[in-house]
Amino acid sequence: MTVNSVCERLDLEVLNLADGEREILGVYAGDLLSWVMGHANESDVLVTIMSNINTLAVASLLDLSCVILAESSEPDPGFVETAQSKEINVFRSKLTTYEICVELSRMLEE
Amino acid sequence: MDNAAPLEFHFNVDGKDFTSAGEASVEVKKILRRIGLDSEAIRRVSIAMYEAEINMVIHAGGGEADVSVSPDKITLVMTDHGPGIADIELAMREGYSTAPDNIRSLGFGAGMGLPNIKRYTDELKIESEVGKGTKITMSVNI
């Protein structure tokens, strides 16, 4: 599944779209960024409520396919600009982390 | 790169702004990619360096990072002049942290930094003196 297909299916709000054709290989959910840092895999989607600029540093270093901010989490000032300059796919959803993960799990199984 | 002298890079880690922590790691990742190293080795180096950078910003007001790439390994030396670590064994324990609450609210300071560094590197040496600073030497085999 691609970033575009997830965006469409979950009706995500686009905060920054850098590469919609990027392939998604897995899903990781978590808000403790140092834990995410140690456990998420390359090309995962990260589902989190943590919307500070460090989230983007983690996404960039791990080469995640995209970040989905859950529960309409409000990004810090400069967040979107940083996502643009680092070319990171970032979306936002009203759904909870759990609800997003359930839907992503269904998509991964299809 | 056989028989070549190691490639060396030097970075200053700005200690004033927590949100910019990671800039040196992202830069190193770019350089290592350009050299064409194995992506898993790059990933491990990036994670270890980022955690060390975060530690420097939280505890030591910044510091310096030296990266050296030889044919068989990538070595990172992170040096700061912060408060030092009184009990290194305790600091290595997962979950032990002395980070302030504002750092925790940003998703860090949970006592995962040094354990993550250990997990992702092949060698790790911590030299620290209370009141003087800390030097962390770590390497990832290629």
Higher pLDDT, B21 or A70: A70
CATH of domain A3-109: 3.40.1390.20
Confidence of residue B6 (pLDDT cuts 50, 70, 90): confident
Average pLDDT over residues A38-55: 94
Average pLDDT over residues A14-39: 95
Whether B124 has a pLDDT exceeding 70, the answer reads yes
CB atoms B19 and A42 under 8 Å: no
CB atoms B51 and A62 under 8 Å: no
Substitution target in A43, A47, A54 with the highest count of B β-carbons within 10 Å is: A54
Confidence of residue B59 (pLDDT cuts 50, 70, 90): very high
Can you tell me the distance from the alpha carbon of B7 to that of A103, in angstroms, rounded to the nearest whole number? 46
State the nearest Cα–Cα gap between A90 and chain B, in angstroms.
Answer: 18
As a whole number, the mean pLDDT across chain B is 91
- Secondary structure string (H, E, C) spanning B35-93: HCCCHHHHHHHHHHHHHHHHHHHHHHCEEEEEEEECCCEEEEEEEECCCCCCCHHHHCC
**What domains can you pick out in chain B, each with its CATH number?**
7-141 (3.30.565.10)
Residue whose token pair is 């070319």: A87
Residue (of A88, A94, A72, A81) closest to A10 by Cα position: A94
Confidence of residue B105 (pLDDT cuts 50, 70, 90): confident
What pLDDT, on the 0 to 100 scale, is given for residue B120?
93
What pLDDT, on the 0 to 100 scale, is given for residue B2?
52
Whether A51 has a pLDDT exceeding 90, the answer reads yes
Higher pLDDT, B16 or B103: B103
ipTM metric? 0.77
CB atoms A54 and B25 under 8 Å: no
Tokens at residue A23, please? 């392939």
Average pLDDT over residues A44-73: 95
Which residues of chain A make contact with B21, given a CB cutoff of 8 A? 54, 57
Higher pLDDT, A38 or B126: B126
Q: B75 - beta bridge partners? A: B68, B139
What pLDDT, on the 0 to 100 scale, is given for residue B114?
93
Which residues of chain B make contact with A62, given a CB cutoff of 8 A? 43, 46-47
CB atoms B112 and A35 under 8 Å: yes
Helix (H, G, I), strand (E, B) or coil at B40: helix
What pLDDT, on the 0 to 100 scale, is given for residue B3?
59
Confidence of residue B18 (pLDDT cuts 50, 70, 90): confident
Confidence of residue A47 (pLDDT cuts 50, 70, 90): very high
Indicate the residue of B19, B54, B110 with minimum beta-carbon distance to A32: B110
Residue whose token pair is 């009184």: B86
Whether A110 has a pLDDT exceeding 90, the answer reads no
* CA-based R_g, chain B, Å: 15
**Domain extent listing, chain A:** 3-109
Q: Which residues numbered 1-30 in A keep a CB inside 8 Å of some CB on B? A: none
State the nearest Cα–Cα gap between B125 and chain A, in angstroms.
Answer: 19
Confidence of residue B101 (pLDDT cuts 50, 70, 90): confident
Which residues of chain A make contact with B43, given a CB cutoff of 8 A? 42, 61-63
What pLDDT, on the 0 to 100 scale, is given for residue B46?
92
> Inter-axis angle of helices B39-55 and A53-62, to 10 degrees?
150
Which residues of chain B make contact with A60, given a CB cutoff of 8 A? 22, 26, 29
